[in-house]
Structure 1
Amino acid sequence: MYITKSTQKYIVFSEDSLVDVLKKINENKSRIAFVVSEHAVLMGSISDGDVRRWLTNNTEIDLNVPAHSIMNTACKRVVLGEEKSTYNSLFHSGVDCLPVVDEAGHLVQLAFQKSEGFYIGSREISEKSPSFIIAEIGNNHQGDIKLAKQLVDHAVASGVDCAKFQMRNVKQLYKNEGNSNDASVDLGAQYTMDLLEKFQLSNEALYEVFDYCKEKNVLPLCTPWDHDSLAALEAYGMPAYKVASADFTNYELLEAIAKTGKPFLCSTGMSSESEIKSTVAFLDRLGADYVLLHCNSTYPTPYKDVNLKYLSRLKKITGKLVGYSGHERGICVPIASIALGACVIEKHLTVDQGLEGTDHKVSLLPDEFAEMVRQIRNVEEGLGSDELPREITQGELMNRENLAKSLVANTPIKQGAIITRSMVAIKSPGQGIQPNRIDELVGKVANRDIDAGGFFYDSDINGVVQKRADYKFDRPFGVPVRYHDYRKIVTDSNLDFVEFHLSYKDLEVNLSDFFDGQEPLGFAVHSPELFAGDHILDLCADDEEYRQHSIRELERVIGITRELKNIFPKTDRPVIVVNAGGWDNKGFIDPALKPAMYKKIADAFNCMDLSGVQIAVQTMPPYPWHFGGQSYHNLFVCAEEIRAFCEENPEIKICLDVSHSMMSCNYYGWDLMKFVEIIAPYNVHMHIVDAKGVDGEGIEIGKGDVDFTALSKLLAEKNPGVQFIPEVWQGHKNGGEGFWLALDFLESVTL
């Protein structure tokens, strides 16, 4: 059984339409949605069977009927805290997903029969959640409570989920009451008892360390080695337990732990497969929630004995969640275990591998532990899903445009001509339709004149997207252009302005090669992000020479903008959209460094002559794409930080990039409407565009996560008259067809 608090994909409100219900059912792939009131009280359920019955019983079909008129009000439910047997009895009646409600009837959890998982504290343990990483401190504190707390600090700094200790009543545990001076005891046992005599912390000291863990917001766990220790930990209120390999066949202790009702983790070191199966059968009869940790109990374990692939077999033969508890040297094995399905990782932590005791030899130093955690999280992110079809990522799309091939005309083609195979060549770059679609193209009637070397586009197969000259918006609107396509894109349109997206090569051209007089439109400029020599603009770079280079390049852009004012006199103070800096190729920075970086950017603008232009720093996403590769962005991502910067630097304004900000909101769990409301007073220019997830940038408007109807209403209230462009990625292709589609959509939602 798997219990989760993530209910959002499964709930609809009572007034939501049947269309909304069907979308939820399609999204969650569980064939059911639960209907709740506005206060999250469970009202009923709607399965795909309920929908079919409703359809067959109604002669007039209205998909806008409210959910409450279709729902099953007698849906089975479980009250939070009920015994596991209650869940199982309801599952046996054919139900696969059960709503779990609190005493007031609020839907708080969902329980699934076909999956495994549970919670330790507020942390979900399942195949769907990030791995639960344990810093095993054990007795590496050497009996020193100060060192124990220091190790907790290192564990917290590493980003672990849990700091774990061990508790023993030595007199109960050993038949000779733990007397290390007993001459009859074997050498190994005598050594272990000697270490325990010297390095055990008292129960009271351990309680103090557990409390310290809570102060530091890391979960404390402990291994009870005997019944007295279990009773002491229960009295403290330990939320879960770890069972050492040595007790994996100790059914009395296992039963006592299971009867606490708490989940636990079991290491399987020193056990045969038949013993593993027997223990699993025993625990399942008790209805326990547990994870099996593959483990080799040698210190250190030779790599040849790790047998990491056994994780897959362990999961197969038991059907249980699995994890890895490692005693080998280094960090590569626990990282690799993630790819084999480990949902729990346990590794020892020390401050000195030369200290007395066997565990120190197999322990990681703090920096090593932190690196292991970072790499585990990277691998988790990289694993993706084996349940979804492969999709082309945003970075791949960019590189496909630059590196792949596409279909081009190898001869001039007149409108009305039938396109033959001999007219088509396959050439780089990949900015037209892909070569595998050649059979769809051949035989079509050309719906436009195509120059030799011109790309074929989807519209050459499926029809032209028409540009209009009567778009209606209550604010100035424009589209992005380059110098070379300006004339073609603005012809036969009623655009108010254009936004020149400059490349660093554009800084070298002669404007008279493209313009022979004054133009009737307004204009804005988007500064290059990349300059010659792979220089990405960064006004807060640590390297002062690099920073000064960025300042000089932006000053060149300001100069070009002033030249363009002579050609486009309608705009008195043109906006220059700038990605001001704050990116990092390695990861997100310490937030404590941000104020100094914002100050560097402010200082950079203060040293420039900004007369006659308006700098608009673009809102940024967490993961910007830098020409086909992903980076990390730290500044102008958070609305509160943007407001603070603009309050301190009133001459600098903001360009709201909706796609960037939507991705930031998705990543950090913010609300886009609240984000926009916070930065609205400083917003002078907008890139209106959609986004998907945390890095799906610039997708077709209306196909992503942005609620454009709500956004339009908010912008009408908070930013009336602020100009915008639809910055659809590759929207300029085929005469700007992506822009015209976007403008049609935005007009329909009354932007």
Structure 2
Amino acid sequence: MKLLDSYYKNNKCLVIAEVAQAHDGSLGMAHAFIDAVAAAGADAIKFQTHIAEEESTPEEPWRLKFSLQDKTRYDYWKRMEFTRDQWEGLRNHALERKLLFLSSPFSVAAVDLLEELGVPLWKVASGEIMNRPVIDRMIQTGKPILISTGMCTLEELDNCIGWLREANSEYLIFQCTSEYPSPPEKVGLNLLSFYRDRYQCPVGLSDHSGTIYPGIAAAVLGALIIEVHVTFSKQMFGPDISSSITMDQLKELVEGIGFVGRMLSHSVDKEIISADYKEMRNIFYKSLVARSDLPAGTVLKEPMIASKKPGSGISPYRMKDLIGKKLRISVSVNHQFTESDFEN
């Protein structure tokens, strides 16, 4: 992806911390997430931009009835709204903390609002993958589009990618499992290579496992973006807490992915690295030594020879070479045999 090339050099993944609705409608909490995500070392913070009257009706059913204060799902989305000025404040705060500011739009109006704020790319939630008006509006901006595959069928994904290709849009596909939390058996890391091959595009993982393990594994498998839900505590309120990781875990994830990137970007030459361990081999390897005092003229038998550290003498690998040799000199116990100890 051209916009994010700087992140992809040297096998570096972009790590997106997804806040979603974890702020529970509190602007102060949303700002607190920005500071915490920046401190944990993530590259980007992502929210969700909901405009209730543009995306929902009072008849929308609950995915999970978790809120005691909201009579309907529509009421919940309404409570999650921020004004344009509030969104601008969040964007400015994120940029001050050196974070990419991202937000998933759920209506054309939300795309328009975020476009005014200058978001650098788009994230299509899996429930929006057939929302042609929203995707067409994203395409019009000319910015890269990240596609989440959680709920869609392969046919629907084919259709969506077809629209993007027709418009010559830049895109990335996220493997995503829409279970909260998703069990390891359903994370679907095998689909990273499937999507990469099928659509000839970069891939990423949008993880709902509530752990750091899939993200690190996906980085090893070449995912270019890892997205995880974040929370301040597993005891917080909200629909995504069980599938989120804490800030301490986010820091571990960022460090783990960085470690993976460094591993993948450096090749090791076995001959060169072995030469570096010469002194260590002398310490840990063993040499052939006399098991007891032996007089000159002794013809060596296997019970007379022991393998002991250090490894600066004749290697135990040559045990059979010493059997049957006659000592030219007397040696004491633990004497490290040398070639000059034997008659020709």
- Are the equivalent residues in 1 in contact too, given 2:181–2:242 (CA < 8 A)? yes
Query: Aligned to 2:2, what secondary structure does the other structure show?
Result: strand
- Matched with 1:467 is none
Higher share of residues assigned helix: 2
Classify 1:199/1:172 alpha carbon distance in 2 versus 1 (closer, same or farther; 3 Å).
closer
Percent identity for Structure 1 against Structure 2? 28
Query: Matches of 1:452 and 1:433 in 2, distance apart?
Result: 7
- Matched with 1:319 is 200
User: What is the alpha-carbon root mean square deviation over aligned residues?
Assistant: 3.2
- Structure with the bigger RCO (C-alpha within 8 Å, sep 6+) is 2
Query: Matches of 1:287 and 1:430 in 2, distance apart?
Result: 64
User: What code does the residue aligned with 2:23 have?
Assistant: H
Shift of 1:293: 0.9
Query: Matches of 2:7 and 2:314 in 1, distance apart?
Result: 45
Query: Matches of 1:435 and 1:280 in 2, distance apart?
Result: 63
Query: Matches of 1:298 and 1:119 in 2, distance apart?
Result: 30
- Are the equivalent residues in 1 in contact too, given 2:103–2:123 (CA < 8 A)? yes
- Matched with 2:338 is 453
Query: Aligned to 2:189, what secondary structure does the other structure show?
Result: coil
Q: Kindly indicate whether residue 61 of structure 2 is the aligned counterpart of residue 186 of structure 1.
A: yes
- Matched with 1:328 is 209
Shift of 1:454: 7.7
Query: Aligned to 2:63, what secondary structure does the other structure show?
Result: helix
Q: Kindly indicate whether residue 254 of structure 2 is the aligned counterpart of residue 370 of structure 1.
A: no
Classify 1:435/1:192 alpha carbon distance in 2 versus 1 (closer, same or farther; 3 Å).
farther
Shift of 1:202: 2.2
- Matched with 1:604 is none
Q: 2:152 aligns with which of 268, 271, 286?
A: 271
Query: Aligned to 1:163, what secondary structure does the other structure show?
Result: strand
- Matched with 1:211 is 92
Query: Matches of 2:271 and 2:50 in 1, distance apart?
Result: 53
- Matched with 1:255 is 136
- Are the equivalent residues in 2 in contact too, given 1:262–1:289 (CA < 8 A)? yes
Query: Matches of 1:232 and 1:432 in 2, distance apart?
Result: 76
Residues 76-127 of structure 1, C-alpha deviations (whole Å, 9 max, x = no match):
xxxxxxxxxxxxxxxxxxxxxxxxxxxxxxxxxxxxxxxxx3224xx62437
Residues 8-43 of structure 1, C-alpha deviations (whole Å, 9 max, x = no match):
xxxxxxxxxxxxxxxxxxxxxxxxxxxxxxxxxxxx
Q: 1:240 aligns with which of 109, 121, 125?
A: 121
Query: Matches of 1:188 and 1:279 in 2, distance apart?
Result: 24
User: What code does the residue aligned with 2:82 have?
Assistant: L
Classify 1:429/1:154 alpha carbon distance in 2 versus 1 (closer, same or farther; 3 Å).
same
- Are the equivalent residues in 2 in contact too, given 1:308–1:337 (CA < 8 A)? yes
Q: Kindly indicate whether residue 2 of structure 2 is the aligned counterpart of residue 118 of structure 1.
A: yes
Q: 1:231 aligns with which of 112, 124, 146?
A: 112
- Are the equivalent residues in 1 in contact too, given 2:10–2:265 (CA < 8 A)? no
Classify 1:428/1:372 alpha carbon distance in 2 versus 1 (closer, same or farther; 3 Å).
same
Query: Aligned to 1:119, what secondary structure does the other structure show?
Result: helix
Alignment of 1:697-736 (within 5 A): none
Query: Matches of 2:156 and 2:10 in 1, distance apart?
Result: 28
Query: Aligned to 1:124, what secondary structure does the other structure show?
Result: helix
Classify 1:272/1:402 alpha carbon distance in 2 versus 1 (closer, same or farther; 3 Å).
farther
Alignment of 1:555-594 (within 5 A): none
User: What code does the residue aligned with 2:145 have?
Assistant: F
- Are the equivalent residues in 2 in contact too, given 1:165–1:222 (CA < 8 A)? yes
Classify 1:378/1:320 alpha carbon distance in 2 versus 1 (closer, same or farther; 3 Å).
same
Alignment of 1:3-22 (within 5 A): none
Classify 1:152/1:399 alpha carbon distance in 2 versus 1 (closer, same or farther; 3 Å).
same
Shift of 1:282: 2.7
Query: Matches of 1:354 and 1:208 in 2, distance apart?
Result: 28
- Are the equivalent residues in 2 in contact too, given 1:133–1:344 (CA < 8 A)? yes
Q: Kindly indicate whether residue 90 of structure 2 is the aligned counterpart of residue 199 of structure 1.
A: no
User: What code does the residue aligned with 1:324 have?
Assistant: L
Query: Matches of 2:258 and 2:124 in 1, distance apart?
Result: 25
Query: Matches of 1:274 and 1:401 in 2, distance apart?
Result: 62
Shift of 1:306: 1.5
Shift of 1:166: 1.3
- Are the equivalent residues in 2 in contact too, given 1:403–1:429 (CA < 8 A)? yes
- Matched with 2:183 is 302
Query: Aligned to 1:188, what secondary structure does the other structure show?
Result: coil
Classify 1:342/1:403 alpha carbon distance in 2 versus 1 (closer, same or farther; 3 Å).
same
Classify 1:166/1:187 alpha carbon distance in 2 versus 1 (closer, same or farther; 3 Å).
closer
Query: Aligned to 2:178, what secondary structure does the other structure show?
Result: coil
- Are the equivalent residues in 2 in contact too, given 1:127–1:341 (CA < 8 A)? no
Classify 1:359/1:430 alpha carbon distance in 2 versus 1 (closer, same or farther; 3 Å).
same
Report how many residues are paired. Answer: 297
User: What code does the residue aligned with 1:155 have?
Assistant: V
- Matched with 1:154 is 36
- Matched with 2:47 is 165
Classify 1:406/1:146 alpha carbon distance in 2 versus 1 (closer, same or farther; 3 Å).
same
Classify 1:187/1:290 alpha carbon distance in 2 versus 1 (closer, same or farther; 3 Å).
closer
Classify 1:118/1:401 alpha carbon distance in 2 versus 1 (closer, same or farther; 3 Å).
farther
Query: Aligned to 1:164, what secondary structure does the other structure show?
Result: strand
- Matched with 1:135 is 17
Shift of 1:362: 1.5
Query: Matches of 1:317 and 1:251 in 2, distance apart?
Result: 22
Gaps of 5+ in 2: 65-70, 289-306, 318-335
Classify 1:266/1:385 alpha carbon distance in 2 versus 1 (closer, same or farther; 3 Å).
farther
Query: Aligned to 1:221, what secondary structure does the other structure show?
Result: strand
Classify 1:362/1:402 alpha carbon distance in 2 versus 1 (closer, same or farther; 3 Å).
same
Query: Matches of 1:263 and 1:371 in 2, distance apart?
Result: 28
Shift of 1:344: 0.5
Alignment of 1:476-491 (within 5 A): none
Q: 1:351 aligns with which of 219, 227, 232?
A: 232
Query: Aligned to 2:240, what secondary structure does the other structure show?
Result: helix
- Matched with 1:557 is none
Classify 1:215/1:430 alpha carbon distance in 2 versus 1 (closer, same or farther; 3 Å).
same
Residues 717-739 of structure 1, C-alpha deviations (whole Å, 9 max, x = no match):
xxxxxxxxxxxxxxxxxxxxxxx
Query: Matches of 1:378 and 1:434 in 2, distance apart?
Result: 37
Gaps of 5+ in 1: 1-116, 408-425, 437-450, 456-751
- Matched with 1:645 is none
Q: Kindly indicate whether residue 9 of structure 2 is the aligned counterpart of residue 144 of structure 1.
A: no
- Are the equivalent residues in 2 in contact too, given 1:299–1:327 (CA < 8 A)? yes
Shift of 1:165: 1.1
Alignment of 1:529-608 (within 5 A): none
Shift of 1:286: 1.6
